[in-house]
Structure 1
Amino acid sequence: MKYLLSNFKIDINDKIYLKDPESSDLGKRIIEHSILLIDDIGFDNFTFKKLGALIGSNESSIYRYFDSKHKLLLYLTSWYWAWLEYQLVFSTTNMSNPNEKLEKAINILTRIIESDSTFKHIDEVILSRVVINEYSKSYLTKEVDAENKDGYFSIYKRLVIRLHDMIIDVNPNYKFPHSLASTVLEGALHQHFLKDHFKSLTDCDQTVQPSEYFNHLVFSALNLKK
């Protein structure tokens, strides 16, 4: 899979950025260190001035790539969902058993993230923490409808549709496939957050992972034992 991924460039909606950060060394450094800085101090405390100081560049140079930190967060979260989508597609394409395919998909979308050496400037483990902690801030805004219309969330929505289609393949009579698919993606972030911060509110821990819970949830909802 790593070989296959190396032949792909993760494409992000070009309305999110002013200049493609993948097109230059500075752009890649902006992405690499913004992930580290947001993870360290949180998105609310993150500024382009602080990022510029960290990478030894003028704040104005960062604004040549993104016109706001909100757009940068949209870029990072979109990249994360696209990275998961590639893994999902390549891991399930040749699977013929719909039950096994759905289980594999759930495991990929809800598991603890491991580092992928394919993309040298992005630490996927740290990025996953950023998404778990900050993703909701990318869409809980007054501009969400306009940004949705412009396709800012198309990768996330496409991922939900892929999971929806796998659910339908298992049980075409299930009445709530979109709701169940979006619950898995959004719920996985929430369960990982609870596991790390509100341990008394989840049954997931070091031995019971969210993947186990979501497989049970989905297959029970589809009236199939798992």
Structure 2
Amino acid sequence: MESLQIHIAVSDALYLRNPESTELGRKIVGVSIELIDELGFEGFTFKKLGQRIGSNESSIYRYFESKHALLVYLISWYWSWVEYKLVFATTNVIDARLKLRSSIEIITQKITEDTSISFVNEVLLNKIIIAESSKAYHTKDIDKENAKGFYKTYKRVVQRISDFVLEVNPTYEFPHMLISTVIEGAHHQRYFSQHLPSLTDVTDGKNDIVRFYTDMVFKALGED
């Protein structure tokens, strides 16, 4: 029996041609993830991507107008995938604390590959999100891009979990600040644990990052 294949929706404002619509487009996305992870975003170019996939550089430009646009697409795809996992984990769950706890785990846990999506390696994509995603929105055009909806999937994830925060404690003043801090902080701690371990208290084999942020959130809500 074949495994169910999940489709992750990404806004059509983020590409010139939907890369999921063709084999070449899916290859562009999948191999670009591998290449950005290998070279870093600065070292990544469409010319190198074209050489890796055996296609003309011009064919990549039919899908994305620039490597920045491709990075924004990858970020949006990632947060759409996270949103799908949040919906799957919390739908029909009544207990607000359980929904919040499950959500914190999803946004702070170590990523494993999702076999229901064949052309994206979520493990490598998560590494790119941790190491490179700030380069997408720390730009002079951030306000224009935000107005076009480039980052709405990330904002939807924060909003969804912020709603759970308010279900647990309706008087809490800073739900969005709390959740965006958890997401970005967990990424930093994951990166530090791999490269600058003296900045963390992470122990190999233990789920310390999930435990830390779960404890932090519930204490902030007066639930310790």
Using the size of structure 2 for normalisation, the TM-score is 0.96
Q: Give the conservation status (yes or no) of the 8 Å contact 1:199–1:205.
A: no
Give 2:16's match in structure 1, choosing from 10, 15, 18: 18
Provide, for residues 157-177 of structure 1, a one-character-per-residue CA deviation record: whole Å limited to 9, x for no partner: 000000100000000111111
Is 1:215 aligned to 2:204, yes or no?
A: no
Q: Given that residues 166 and 175 in structure 2 are in contact (C-alpha distance below 8 angstroms), is that contact kept between their aligned partners in structure 1? A: yes
Q: Following the alignment from structure 2 to structure 1, what is the Cα–Cα distance between the partners of residues 46 and 32? A: 9
The one-letter code matched in structure 1 to 2:66 is: S
> Which of 84, 87, 97 lines up with 1:86 in the alignment?
84
Letter in 2 for 1:95: V
Contact preservation (8 Å) 1:30, 1:62: yes
Q: Structure 1: which 5+ residue stretches go unaligned?
A: none
TM-superposed CA distance for 1:110, in Å, is 0.7
* C-alpha contact 1:111 1:209 (8 A) present in aligned 2: no
Check whether the contact 2:109–2:207 (CA below 8 A) recurs between aligned residues.
no
| CA-to-aligned-CA distance 1:40-93 (integer Å, 9 cap, x gap) | 010010000000000000000000000000000001111011001100111111
SS in 2 for 1:65: coil
Aligned residues: 222
Letter in 2 for 1:213: F
Identity within the alignment, %: 49
Per-residue deviation at 1:108? Answer: 0.8
One-letter amino acid of the counterpart of residue 200, structure 2: T
Q: Normalising by structure 1, report the TM-score.
A: 0.95
In structure 2, how many angstroms separate the alpha carbons of the residues matched to 1:75 and 1:205?
33
Q: What does the per-residue CA deviation read over 1:21-52, in whole Å, with 9 as the maximum and x for residues that have no partner?
A: 00100000000100000000100100000000
Work out whether residues 132 and 189 of structure 1, in 8 Å CA contact, stay in contact via their aligned partners in 2: yes
Secondary structure class of the residue paired with 2:12: coil
Q: Equivalent residue for 1:177?
A: 175
The runs of 5 or more residues in structure 2 that have no matched partner are none
How far apart are the structure 1 equivalents of 2:76 and 2:185? 17
1:71 is matched with: 69
**In the alignment, is residue 144 of structure 1 matched against residue 151 of structure 2?**
no
**Separation in 1, partners of 2:143, 2:203:** 36
Question: Distance in 2 between the 1:46 and 1:138 partners?
Answer: 14
Q: RMSD of the alignment, in Å?
A: 1.4
Q: Distance in 2 between matches of 1:105 and 1:156?
A: 14
Whether the 8 Å contact between 2:186 and 2:209 is mirrored in structure 1 is: yes
In the alignment, is the contact (CA less than 8 A) between 2:7 and 2:117 conserved in 1?
no
